Structure 1
Amino acid sequence: MEEQQMMAVAEAILFIAGDPVPVRSIAEVLDIDVDTAERLMEKMAEAYASQHRGLQLIRINDAYQLVTRPEYGEYIRRFTGATKEQSLSRACLETLAIIAYNQPVTKADIEQLRGVKCDHAIAVLLEKNLIREVGRLDAPGKPKLYGTTELFLKSFGLSSIDDLPPLKPQQAT
Structure 2
Amino acid sequence: MTDEQHVPDDAPANDATAQVDDQQEAVEEAPPFDVHTMPGGARSAIEAILMVVDQPVTAYEIATALELPEAEVVEAIEDLEREYAAQHRGFALRCINEGWRVYSRPDYAPAVEKFLLDGQQAKLTQASLETLAVIAYRQPISRSRISAVRGVNVDGVVRTLLTRGLIVEIGSDGEQGALLYGTTPYFLQRLGLSSLDELPALAPYLPDADVVDELIAQGHG
TM-score when normalising by structure 2: 0.38
Q: Whose Rg is larger?
A: 2
- Which structure has the higher relative contact order (CA within 8 Å, separation 6+)? 1
TM-score when normalising by structure 1: 0.48
Greater share of residues in strand: 1
